[in-house]
Amino acid sequence: MSISRAALAGLALGAALLHSPPARAYPIDCAILLCLAGGFPASAECMAAKATMIRRITPWPVTPPLQLWNCPLGLPAGFVPPPGSPEVRLGPDGLTDEVRGYRDAIEIYHIRTSPPMDREAPPGSWRDHTQRGVYLEDGSHRWVRASLRHGPEWLAGSDRIRRVPIRVCARETDNGCWEWRVSHYENWPGGGFWGGYGRVVAIRYEDHEGRKHTEFVNY
């Protein structure tokens, strides 16, 4: 895999990654972790790893993009770190801080909207059923309630989502508002959400250089 030597060394030292027998193929989640850390460089292995990750977040159902419980991350018997290297410590999830950092840097949103139930609702009204995926301390994954409207700015990177300014009247006169000011911005469904119905899975992850990478899976 065409991943920087520093990234591979850090992961290998932190958790003795991929210590399964050489004759066996890497578990796909080990490959996803390594390729994610490298920003998914152009290689057959990383293309397959990224395809698996995207397939997992393709409804239905939307599943965790990185499933480290399928990757053997424990330290092999007799493992001795190189002289001068920091002590390897595993948390309750069996991961090192370095590996956990890549996992927890993953932001994933399952965005779903639908029209208002009240036909008399004002224009632009819509119901937000968005969920956010989170990894727990024990390494498991769950979905929690979230919001597209009040979600992070990067969610508006899809052509089906737009970020609109919410304006308030700063100076009002007898003839109406004289001066409008932007109070804040909100994410709103774009034209791709026909009739108010829509679904997008958005994922953002971080590589070993701290660069953010974003993917949108539109339906």
User: Would residue 137 count as lying in a domain?
Assistant: yes
User: Would residue 83 count as lying in a domain?
Assistant: no
Burial 109-148 (b: 16+ CB within 10 A, else e): bbbbbbeeeeeeeeeeebebebbbbbbeeebebeeeebbb
User: Would residue 44 count as lying in a domain?
Assistant: yes
Which residue segment(s) compose the domain that 68 sits in?
A: 5-74+89-218
Residue 14 has pLDDT above 70, yes or no: no
User: Would residue 84 count as lying in a domain?
Assistant: no
pLDDT in tens, 55-70: 999 977 899 999 998 8
The HSE-up count of residue 209 (CA atoms within 13 Å, CB side) is 9
In this prediction, residues 38-50 reach a mean pLDDT of 94
Structure tokens at 122: 């004002």
Distance CA 119, CA 88 (A): 60
User: Would residue 95 count as lying in a domain?
Assistant: yes
Higher pLDDT, 21 or 148: 148
pLDDT in tens, 175-203: 888 888 998 999 998 877 776 788 999 99
Distance CA 15, CA 81 (A): 10
Q: Which segments of the chain does DSSP mark as H helices, in order?
A: 5-15, 28-37, 44-56, 97-104
When divided into structural domains, the chain yields a total of 1
pTM, two decimal places: 0.80
Higher pLDDT, 143 or 126: 143
List C-alpha distances in Å: 156 to 67, 124, 162, 181: 26, 17, 5, 21
Which residue carries 């090192």 as its tokens? 96
User: Would residue 20 count as lying in a domain?
Assistant: yes
